[in-house]
Structure formats: C-alpha cells, structure tokens
Structure 1
C-alpha cells in the first residue's frame, strides 16, 4: 500500500512540475525570440516481486524443507520529470518597422540540431547568446538588449552606432554614422548544449565552442531589420497540455485519497481491539 502512495505521489509531483513549465511557456508566448521548453519524463527503476515460500521434499529421514522463490513480475514505482529542454524551432518573423529590431532567420544548416544566435555580453562581461533581436540604443550610443546587455560584433567588441538611424544588411553588416561593423552571429552544431540563463539568454555548456556563422561551412541565414522573430510557443497546444496535465494530477490525487482511506480503515477498524 505504501508503494501505491509513493507511485501516485510521484505522479502528482511530476505533473506539478510540468504545469510550472507549461505556465512559463504561456507567460512568454509574446516574448520575442523565446524558445519554449519541452519536458521529458522518466520512470523510476522497476522492482522485481518474488513470492518467497518453501517446498517439502520427502527423504528417508522424514523430509527436507527447502526455500523456494517464485517470480511474480516487475512493478513500476512511478515517474518523474527529468528536465526541460529548449525547443530551437524557428519562430514567426513579423514586421515592427523599428530600426533597432533585428530578426535572425535560419537558412540551410549543415546539422539537424544546429542553430544560430546573436552574441551579447552579460553583466559579468561574459559572452552569452540570444535569439531576441528586440534591441535598443543606450545613452552612450551602444546597441544593447532591452535588459541593457551589450550586443557584440564579430570581433567580440561592443557595437556603438551612436544613433538609432543605422542600417543592417541581410548578412548582418551594420552601417552607421559612427561605425561600420558586422554584428556577432554564432553557430553551434548542437543547440542541446545550450541552457537558459534568464533574460532570454543562453549559455553554452558543451565542450564544443560556437563559431562565427559567416565562416561556418554550409550555414545560411538572413538578418531582417525592422522585424522580430516571435516566440515559438503554440498557445493552443500549451493550453491543451495544461488541461491534460491537470487531469492527470487529479487522477493521482484521487488514488492518494483512496489509499489514505484504506489505511485509515486498516488502522482504525480492522486493527481495533474488541
């Protein structure tokens, strides 16, 4: 009975975590460049049940009692949500008419799991990656994200346009009255090595470093000025998953309540002294 408690409780916790993940996707459905999380579930190790008995073998001295185990079969002990993995599918590209908005559109890529990023500098002056091209120009004329992180060029230096009146070509070349440079675009063959760090930034935790997208063989892309890549969250699909997950949570909750009632009956009624 306690195993049933554990199995149903594990199902409730897994669906609660799944609900949190889906809610985060829904809350970022309108965030430019946001990549939705896909949750993966795994089962706890199965347990093998055996029936432990004995067998009496007749002998000249009256008989021999030997232990005999009979395998009943395996029993599952529940599931858990293993991790959230960003889904790096291309989001819709939409017009904004704002010169500081840039959309990075994937072309043909040599690797099935490969993807492209803008390069930015976080608050600790470390290189991070983003698909959110909702940029702006700060008081000193530097191109930054809305959170104030500096956008980098292909040499890893900050881009200073000096004004919002600048032009960006399809290959990411920035032309402004203050400076002419190329916006930093990184390519990595395995996007699964990237983890979310907050503020729509990604950190590379793989052993292989990202490379300049312009020099990578077989990598094609386009940078669209005055446009933004939208989130790849499908609100209808996410809402359907939230409803399904909630119903699974309720089912496990009912199982826990049933076991609780059974244990109450066993402890208060069956075991009552008369």
Structure 2
C-alpha cells in the first residue's frame, strides 16, 4: 500500500508539471514566433515482487507475485518547432521565416542568441534590433564580417533569401542559423541558445510579415482538461489509501 502511495504521488507531480507547461503555452498563444512546449513522461523501472510464503516439502520456496510499476517521472520538456501562421503587417522592419531556421541576435553581453520573432525596429544608433534591444546580426557583403545590421535612415528591402538592400544597394544578408533536433533550448524572452555550431542552410524569409505562435489554443484546452482529470484521479487514490492506512492504525487490533 505504501508503494501505491508513491506511485499515485509520482503521478500528481507529473501532472502538475504538465499543467505548468500547458499554462505557459496558453499565456504565449499570441506571442509572435513562440514555439509551444510538450512534457514527456516515462515510467520508472518496474520491480519484481516475490515472497517465500509457499511451502514445498516442508520448506519455504520463492514465488513470484508479478511486476509492480513505481509510477511515472518527468523525462524532458521538448519544444515543438512546427510552423506558425504567417500574417502580413506591411511594416518594412518585420520579417518572418517560412520553414526552418532562426534569426541570430547579439545581446549586450556579447553572447549570441536565436529567435523566430522577426518584429524588428531601428534604434537610435540606426541598428536593427529586436524587442529586447538585442542587435540583429547579418553578414556584411563587402567585408564578409558578421556584424549588427546598421540601417541608418536608409530604405530597407529584403528578398526571400535574406539579402538586405539599403537604398537599392545590397549591404547585408541575415545571419541565419539552423540546428538539428535537440541542439537548441529556450532561455526566455522568446530567445534560444545552443552550444552546437549552427549551419547556415537555405532559409526563406518574408519582409512585411510576422510568424505567429504555433500554439493551438483548442488543443491546449483539451489537454488541460485531461490533465486536470488525471490529477484528480491520482488525488482520490492518495486520499483513499490515506483513509485505509488510518483505519489500519487506529482500528485493526483494537481491543473491544
């Protein structure tokens, strides 16, 4: 019975963590470029139960009672990188990646991050930056150096391959980044980081568009209700076992 308590409580912990993931997804359903998360749960290793109550020829022999699951545990939280809807804004500093790939930005600490949120604007220095003030990086086609994209007061145009033209002259190309599955992780503020070396690859971009969140609100609500039911079921198991243990301690063997 004690083992059963541990099994039910492990289910409570897993469902609580799943609820937090779903809540975060719903909170970012309108966040441009956001990619939803999914909680992966796996079983603890099963254990074999046996005893020596069986007697053969006057001797106690081992008999196997069967396997017992020790419940579930949190395996990992993975990000679903499916394409989000692309909507037109008409703003020249808005960009949306159609397919795989990330924009590369540089924080004030000099560290590089990656994002799918292409809502950029020009700061007082004339640099193209994201909503967090991180500089958008591009390859200078004249020097071949990777540096912040400096737009100044120029008219900005961008083709589908990410080539940036200022007043009709090509000056930069977006520093795109591609990663294999599992090589990139979230760090907050709609940014990602990775210890792996990114590949450039062929990335297609649309100017005057933004990519919306890939979170499906209806699916998340259904998942939330299922999670709540599972939590309540485990909760009732714990409550029933607690009441049974209480009776075992206070009533069984009581002299009347």
TM-score if structure 2 supplies the norm length?
Answer: 0.92
1:118-133 equivalences in 2 (<5 Å): 118-133=103-118
Residues 223-249 of structure 1, C-alpha deviations (whole Å, 9 max, x = no match):
111100111110000000000000100
Partner of 1:184 in structure 2?
A: 175
Residue of 95, 99, 102 corresponding to 2:92: 99
1:144 to 2:126 alignment = no
* 3-state secondary structure, aligned to 1:157: strand
Q: Is the 8 A contact 1:100 1:164 kept in 2?
A: no
Following superposition, the deviation at residue 164 of structure 1 comes to 7.4
Give the structure 2 partner of residue 160 of structure 1: 150
In the alignment, which residue of structure 1 is the partner of 2:62?
69
- Residue 90 of structure 2 is aligned to residue 85 of structure 1: no
User: Are the structure 2 counterparts of residues 266 and 243 from structure 1 closer, same or farther at C-alpha, using a change threshold of 3 Å?
Assistant: same
Q: Offset at 1:187?
A: 2.0
Q: Which whole-Å CA distance do the structure 2 matches of 1:97 and 1:29 have between them?
A: 22
Pick the aligned partner of 1:212 from 163, 184, 200. 200
Change (3 A) 1:252 1:102: same
Deviation at 1:179, TM superposition (A): 7.8
Q: Partner residue of 2:21?
A: 21
Give, in angstroms, the shift of residue 163 of structure 1. Answer: 3.4
Q: Which TM-score applies when normalising by structure 1? A: 0.86
Call closer, same or farther: CA 1:89–1:5 in 2, change over 3 Å: same
Determine the structure 2 residue equivalent to 1:60: none
**Equivalent residue number for residue 41 of structure 1:** 41
Match of 1:236 in 2: 218
Structure 1, unaligned runs of 5 or more: 58-64, 107-114, 214-218
C-alpha change, 1:186 and 1:56, in structure 2 (3 Å) is: closer
RMSD, aligned CA = 1.7
> In structure 1, which of residues 169, 172, 175 is the aligned counterpart of residue 165 of structure 2?
175
Dislocated runs of 4+, deviation >6 Å: none
Inter-CA distance 191–136: structure 2 relative to 1 (3 Å threshold)? farther
For 1:255 and 1:181, the matched residues in 2 are separated by 62
Number of corresponding residues: 250
The DSSP-based 3-state class of the residue aligned with 2:138 is coil
